[in-house]
């Protein structure tokens, strides 16, 4: 913790920035919100962070009590990083930052999203009004990772894992799912091209893709 810079300000917000304001720190938290990860998994989700910088952020966050390192039991027996309960309390902070940042007129529209970042964006952008009357269970298969999602009574839950008897299974890659949800790509075209495969009720999939509208960019100077 001695290497971390401080604002030396009594404000609690300033102290929070002392803890998570360094570059990559909050993105490390983002990558752990859906569950523990190995160092190599974190590197895959944060390819712009060098191994040395990532290691330093992990040490600092562990020293601050935001995450911990533990060894999985056999047969895995590998070391993983996971958020503490206090660290998980940062999720609404990251969600709120996402809602605010997506309205930036200067946000790059062609930057890639990590798998976890995309999944968390669904939590961020979910619109309960668009889900009115929808009760459905989904499984998203993105490469080697699977996520189960449930929509019920205007609520949306999504987490890593396999769904039990889903109404629809969507199998694709992150870039294709981004284009379908946020860029208006036609689902039929994506199916014909083989970029996405669907099992189950396609109407349920069409509803799912419509649940996450992006807000209008902020008016600069308004």
- Note the pLDDT tens digit of each residue in 150-192: 999 999 999 999 999 999 999 999 999 999 999 999 999 999 9
**Total domain count, the chain:** 2
Which of 72, 101, 130 is a domain's end point? 101
Amino acid 4: pLDDT: 67
Residue 172 placed within a domain? yes
Amino acid 2: pLDDT: 46
Same domain, 77 and 135: no
Same domain, 60 and 134: no
Same domain, 88 and 122: no
CATH number at residue 36: 1.10.10.10
Same domain, 67 and 127: no
State the average pLDDT for the chain. Answer: 93
Residue 222's pLDDT band, with cuts at 50, 70 and 90, is: low
Q: For a pLDDT cut of 70, what percent of the chain falls above it? A: 97
Same domain, 92 and 138: no
Amino acid 3: pLDDT: 58
Same domain, 91 and 123: no
Query: Distances in Å between the alpha carbon of 39 and those of 76, 99, 208?
Result: 14, 28, 32
pTM of this structure: 0.87
Q: What is the mean pLDDT of residues 23-41?
A: 95
CATH number at residue 122: 3.30.1050.10
**Structure confidence by residue, pLDDT tens digits, 109-142:** 777 888 999 999 999 999 999 999 999 999 999 9
Same domain, 80 and 162: no
Same domain, 133 and 200: yes
Angle formed by the axes of helices 115-125 and 25-32, to 10°? 80
β-sheet with 136-142: strand ranges across: 155-160, 145-152, 136-142, 168-172, 197-200
CA diameter of the chain: 59
Amino acid 1: pLDDT: 45
Q: Is the pLDDT reported for residue 68 higher than 70?
A: yes
Range of the domain at 161: 115-209
Residue 8's pLDDT band, with cuts at 50, 70 and 90, is: confident
Q: In this structure, are residues 92 and 35 in contact, taking their beta carbons and an 8 Å threshold? A: no
Q: How far apart are CA 153 and CA 169, in angstroms?
A: 21
Query: Distances in Å between the alpha carbon of 216 and those of 45, 92, 177?
Result: 27, 21, 21
């Amino acid at each position: 913790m001695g290497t971390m810079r401080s604002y030396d300000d009594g404000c609690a917000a300033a102290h929070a920035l002392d803890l998570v304001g360094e570059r990559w720190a909050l993105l490390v938290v983002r990558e752990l919100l859906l569950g523990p990860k190995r160092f190599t998994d974190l590197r895959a989700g944060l390819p712009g962070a060098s191994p040395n910088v990532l290691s330093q952020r992990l040490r600092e966050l562990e020293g601050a009590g935001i995450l911990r390192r533990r060894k999985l039991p056999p047969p895995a027996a590998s070391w993983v990083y996971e958020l503490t309960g206090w660290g998980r309390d940062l999720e609404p902070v990251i969600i709120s930052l996402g809602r605010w940042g997506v309205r930036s007129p200067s946000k790059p529209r062609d930057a890639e999203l990590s798998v976890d970042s995309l999944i968390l964006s669904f939590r961020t952008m979910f619109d309960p009004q668009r889900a009115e009357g929808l009760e459905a269970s989904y499984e998203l298969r993105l490469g080697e990772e699977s996520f189960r999602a449930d929509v019920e009574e205007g609520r949306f839950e999504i987490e890593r894992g396999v769904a039990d008897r889903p109404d629809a299974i969507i199998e694709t890659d992150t870039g294709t799912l981004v284009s379908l949800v946020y860029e208006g790509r036609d689902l039929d075209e994506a199916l014909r091209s083989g970029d996405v495969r669907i099992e189950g009720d396609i109407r349920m999939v069409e509803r799912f893709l419509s649940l996450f509208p992006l807000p209008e960019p902020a008016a600069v100077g308004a």
